[in-house]
Amino acid sequence: MPITKKKKKKLAIGDDEVIVLDNVCKSYETGAPALNGVSLRIKRGEFVFIIGGSGSGKSTLIKLLLRELIPTSGAINVLGYDLTRIRHGKIPQFRRKLGIVFQDFRLLPDRNVYENVAFAQRIVQRPRREIRKNVPAILSQVGLAGKYKSKIKRLSGGEQQRVAIARALINRPDILLADEPTGNLDPKNSEEIMALLEKVNEGGTTVIVVTHNGEIVNKMKKRVVALNKGVIISDEEEGEYVNAD
């Protein structure tokens, strides 16, 4: 009997779609699947909240989108990169098209504000002249123009998150992924950060925010994808979602 190689079905991606997940499952060695049959399509320029309680699969989804994890089954395409097949050497190139903001900021603590932001430009080998021009510009955009020399440890939580956003934006990413960006911030700072993200989105960048902060989600009136036990339980269009809490 001749052996026929099973060909993987090519994922259909619309022209304006930047993220496509098709029936994605992710299981860890122990326990129930973290994601189970997740299908999701996000268009260029959208602002999407991904919400869910702990253990809902939010973090796994972010890790899959960053290509930190590979799905057990299903297909993921982000900005034209097939993340199930991408070579290790191509991952940096892919990640440079994303901007990433974490709950714990993930800044380099022993460098100052300028160095933290400039670092992202050095990685993509921008000339020094350009870095000197771009960093102050982006810092003033996030409201930190006067603090470029400050040590990270001396900044407030809100300021640190602004540095992280500046770092994420400086290479003009197509998508900004924010994992619980207000998780460590007080309500005032949270609002300011969300306003900043909204402004970024208005500039044309696709913004995806993972959060469990229902109040912010309600106020922003954006598209909301809700996860529970690894399954999408609702996907509400802009303004349709109302938090029951």
Return residues touching other proteins (CB under 8 A): 66, 68, 88-89, 92-96, 98, 100, 106-108, 110, 119-120, 122-125, 127-128, 167, 171
**What minimum distance in Å lies between the beta carbon of 130 and other proteins?**
10
Q: For residues 175 and 206, what is the distance between their CA atoms, to the nearest angstrom?
A: 5
Q: For residues 110 and 212, what is the distance between their CA atoms, to the nearest angstrom?
A: 30
Joined together, the tokens standing for residue 225 give 């994808």
**What minimum distance in Å lies between the beta carbon of 131 and other proteins?**
9
Joined together, the tokens standing for residue 125 give 């080998």
Which CB sits closer to other proteins, 210 or 220? 210
**What minimum distance in Å lies between the beta carbon of 127 and other proteins?**
7
Alpha helix ranges (H) inside 142-213? 157-169, 187-202
Contact present, 227 and 234 (Cβ < 8 Å): no
Which CB sits closer to other proteins, 154 or 219? 154
Q: For residues 158 and 188, what is the distance between their CA atoms, to the nearest angstrom?
A: 9
Which CB sits closer to other proteins, 45 or 94? 94
Which CB sits closer to other proteins, 115 or 191? 115
**What minimum distance in Å lies between the beta carbon of 148 and other proteins?**
18
Which CB sits closer to other proteins, 22 or 179? 179
Q: For residues 80 and 74, what is the distance between their CA atoms, to the nearest angstrom?
A: 16
